[in-house]
């Protein structure tokens, strides 16, 4: 990478222009004609017609990579008027999406007020919540475009892609909530979300095309990240922050962690024995300042806390510190079998960005007979969990959306016990498979990507997949698989991981017939253990044969688009690239 900042900036400008070349040429060329007409004193009508033509062609060019071109052109045109500026047109795309998501939220409220069926009411409540989150993601994307800065282009586009992906996941989750309801509200909601879903996917397509142009010229991020890849453990605070704000945050966070570990300081302390400021966690949560710019630390002393907790989306920069994942435990038993949508079964739901948890156990104790029962659900961007446990049976850990990192954690369960549509990496974690109900089979993962452009997936690295003690003697009775395709473009990568012999030789399980088998993205790389041999794996088109060059794109330094400074700021053990020396694909 060049040391000349002006040259780097010129390259960045070229990257952007190469992606939107057609649109820009049309705008410039016809714009010159408008100016010439002015000089020749053409009438206003001709000028307006020319400007409308410029705008129309620019919109068509911007909409070219989308799957729903007619919707794209019509809705951007309605919002943009005769605008010709590329930024204005992209912002118009976000405005249109926000408008239709807002309408869907209003429809949810109206439908809810007319409903008597309890399950339908609960499903509509979820839609209202998720549409609020989607509007927030779209507004953030709009603001990023409005404050467009070339030096930060890589990070800007990465953030927008993640947020747009989350809006798609939110809308999918809304519709998912109507399963097992007895009314037509689900169909009405699906219809109400039709245009907003198309616009969300269109926005993702447009921004992905921009990212592609930037990425292909190897500007900034990729080459820098590639140099970082290796076995070395990163001392996280040693990474250079990206801004003064992140530097301040890193220092405060490190000090807060050290103080809490030394028993010196926390913003609030929770203790079952009365030695803290609160006896339960819920009361402590009520003290969290909204939209905080510095870490708010909750120290939870040893004990079992029977509570269901939700950290709202404006509870950002929250730290939850316990005495150990076997000592500080939060447990609940809400479940789907009792009529609660899966999204609402979580013992702990985390929705505020920059969430950090350490030395905490999260549990849903409902049991296998109660079907879906989530211990921990995360929709928060830049969330980190260190030395935590998530215990349950079906659907234990809901990695719902955005960017998440798990280190030295233990996850237990049976069916799809790590599921969702986030960009998640698990390093040095243990996955313990439990005994399911008779006639059931186990699946460790169920990744839910529904659009091929979503930058999401589940990555297990340097981890262990093993039978829990209750399954060890019964592992031949209950088949276990690495995963199955919940989403049509489901993506899961397992690398440098120990796979025990409980995993069936075919490795991966179907979801429903041929669903996702040709469009999923499943890969194994440099794993070991008796269950790691890939010779007898299923031969679906979606099963990938990985080399080191492929696998490196799914290490944290590359997979987390926009960079990994948010992990570096948290003072946890962290490997940027591969764990093993002389990494190479094993011959099977």
Domain range summary for the chain, segments of one domain joined by +:
5-216, 229-568
Return the pLDDT at 281. Answer: 98
3-state secondary structure at position 503 = strand
Q: Which residues contact 485 (CB under 8 A, 6 or more apart)?
A: 446, 447, 510, 511, 515, 516, 517, 519, 520, 542
Return the pLDDT at 89. Answer: 83
Do 5-216 and 229-568 have matching folds? no
CA distances from 267 to 134, 271, 281, 387 (A): 31, 14, 13, 21
3-state secondary structure at position 391 = strand
Most confident of 57-66, 91-100, 240-249, 387-396: 387-396
More confident residue, 62 or 50: 62
More confident residue, 354 or 77: 354
pLDDT bin (cut points 50, 70, 90) of residue 351 is very high
More confident residue, 32 or 417: 417
Lowest mean pLDDT among 112-126, 145-159, 246-260: 246-260
Q: Is the pLDDT of residue 345 over 80?
A: yes
Q: Is the pLDDT of residue 202 over 50?
A: yes
Helix 118-146 vs helix 185-192: crossing angle, to nearest 10: 10
Q: Taking the mean position of all CA atoms in its chain, how far away is CA 387? A: 21
Q: Is the pLDDT of residue 324 over 60?
A: yes
Q: Quick one: what percent of the chain has pLDDT higher than 70?
A: 81
Instruction: Verify whether residue 416 is a known catalytic residue.
Output: yes
Lowest mean pLDDT among 66-75, 173-182, 225-234: 225-234
| CB of 463 closer than 8 Å to CB of 429 | yes
Lowest mean pLDDT among 8-12, 271-275, 321-325, 537-541: 8-12
Residue 277: CB atoms within 10 A of its CB come to 15
CA distances from 62 to 59, 101, 226, 564 (A): 5, 21, 31, 30
Most confident of 114-118, 237-241, 267-271, 273-277: 267-271
More confident residue, 578 or 259: 578
Lowest mean pLDDT among 77-91, 405-419, 441-455, 518-532: 77-91
Return the pLDDT at 437. Answer: 97
Q: What is the reported pTM?
A: 0.86
Q: Quick one: what percent of the chain has pLDDT higher than 90?
A: 62
What are 260-272's pLDDT values in tens digits?
Answer: 554 448 999 999 9
Averaged pLDDT for residues 62-91 = 87
Q: Is the pLDDT of residue 294 over 60?
A: yes
| CB of 443 closer than 8 Å to CB of 483 | yes
d(CA 542, CA 230): 28
d(CA 168, CA 391): 28
Return the pLDDT at 87. Answer: 78
d(CA 235, CA 200): 38
pLDDT bin (cut points 50, 70, 90) of residue 210 is confident
Q: Taking the mean position of all CA atoms in its chain, how far away is CA 254? A: 25
**DSSP character at residue 394:** B
pLDDT bin (cut points 50, 70, 90) of residue 499 is very high
More confident residue, 482 or 107: 482
Q: Is the pLDDT of residue 24 over 60?
A: no
Lowest mean pLDDT among 262-271, 319-328, 357-366: 262-271
Q: Is the pLDDT of residue 237 over 60?
A: no
CA distances from 414 to 418, 419, 465, 470, 473 (A): 10, 12, 12, 12, 16
Return the pLDDT at 42. Answer: 52
Q: Is the pLDDT of residue 457 over 90?
A: yes
Q: Please, what is the average pLDDT of the chain?
A: 84
Averaged pLDDT for residues 412-419 = 98
Catalytic residue among 267, 416, 451, 500: 416
Class of domain 229-568: mainly beta
pLDDT bin (cut points 50, 70, 90) of residue 576 is very high
| CB of 574 closer than 8 Å to CB of 568 | yes
3-state secondary structure at position 544 = strand
Averaged pLDDT for residues 339-347 = 96
User: What architecture (CATH level 2) is domain 5-216?
Assistant: Up-down Bundle (1.20)
Return the pLDDT at 528. Answer: 97
d(CA 479, CA 438): 11
pLDDT bin (cut points 50, 70, 90) of residue 243 is very low
Return the pLDDT at 259. Answer: 52
d(CA 34, CA 51): 7
Tokens of 478: 């209950």
């Amino acid at each position: 990478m060049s040391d000349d900042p002006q040259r780097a900036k010129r390259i960045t400008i070229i990257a952007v222009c190469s992606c939107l070349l057609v649109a820009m040429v049309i705008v410039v060329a016809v714009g010159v004609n408008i100016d010439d007409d002015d000089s020749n004193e053409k009438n206003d009508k001709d000028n307006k017609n020319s400007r409308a033509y410029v705008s129309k062609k620019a919109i068509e060019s911007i909409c070219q990579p989308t799957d729903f071109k007619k919707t794209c052109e019509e809705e951007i045109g309605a919002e943009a008027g005769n605008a010709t500026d590329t930024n204005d047109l992209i912002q118009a795309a976000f405005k249109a999406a926000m408008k239709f998501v807002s309408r869907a939220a209003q429809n949810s409220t109206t439908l809810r007020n007319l409903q008597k069926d309890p399950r339908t009411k609960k499903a509509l409540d979820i839609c209202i919540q998720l549409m609020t989150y989607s509007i927030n993601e779209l507004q953030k994307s709009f603001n990023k475009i409005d404050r467009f800065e070339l030096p930060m282009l890589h990070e800007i586009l990465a953030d927008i892609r993640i947020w747009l992906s989350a809006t798609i996941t939110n809308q999918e989750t809304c519709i998912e909530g109507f399963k097992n309801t007895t009314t037509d509200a689900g169909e009405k909601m699906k219809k109400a979300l039709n245009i907003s879903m198309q616009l969300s996917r269109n926005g993702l397509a447009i921004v992905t095309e921009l990212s592609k142009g930037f990425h292909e010229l190897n500007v900034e991020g990729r080459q820098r990240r590639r140099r970082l890849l290796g076995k070395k453990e990163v001392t996280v605070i040693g990474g250079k922050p990206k801004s003064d704000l992140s530097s301040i945050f890193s220092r405060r966070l490190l000090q807060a962690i050290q103080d809490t570990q030394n028993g010196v300081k926390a913003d609030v302390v929770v203790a079952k024995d009365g030695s803290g400021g609160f006896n339960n966690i819920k009361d402590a949560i009520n003290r969290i300042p909204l939209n905080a710019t510095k870490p708010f630390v909750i120290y939870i002393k040893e004990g079992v806390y029977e509570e269901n907790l939700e950290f709202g989306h404006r509870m950002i920069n929250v730290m939850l510190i316990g005495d150990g994942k076997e000592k500080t435990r939060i447990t609940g038993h809400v479940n789907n079998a009792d009529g609660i949508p899966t999204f609402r079964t979580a013992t702990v739901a985390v929705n505020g960005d920059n969430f950090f948890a350490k030395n905490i156990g999260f549990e849903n104790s409902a049991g296998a007979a109660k079907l879906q029962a989530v211990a921990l659900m995360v929709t928060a961007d830049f969330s980190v969990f260190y030395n935590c446990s998530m215990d349950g049976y079906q659907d234990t850990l809901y990695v719902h959306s955005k960017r998440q990192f798990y280190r030295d954690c233990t996850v237990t369960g049976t069916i799809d016990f790590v599921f969702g549509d986030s960009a998640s990496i698990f390093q040095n974690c243990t996955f313990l498979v439990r005994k399911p109900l008779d006639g059931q089979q186990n699946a460790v993962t169920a990744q839910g990507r529904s659009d091929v452009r979503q930058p999401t997936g589940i990555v297990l690295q340097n981890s262990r997949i093993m039978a829990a003690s209750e399954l060890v003697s019964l592992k031949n009775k209950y088949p276990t698989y690495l995963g199955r395709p919940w989403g049509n473009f489901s993506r899961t990568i397992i690398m440098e991981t120990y796979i025990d012999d409980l995993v069936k030789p075919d490795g991966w399980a179907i979801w429903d017939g041929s669903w996702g088998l040709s469009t999923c993205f499943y890969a194994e790389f440099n794993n070991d253990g008796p269950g790691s041999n890939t010779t007898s794996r299923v031969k679906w088109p979606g099963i990938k044969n990985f080399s080191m060059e492929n696998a490196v794109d799914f290490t944290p330094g590359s997979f987390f688009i926009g960079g990994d400074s948010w992990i570096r700021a948290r003072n946890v053990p962290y490997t940027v690239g591969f764990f093993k020396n002389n990494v190479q694909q094993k011959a099977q």
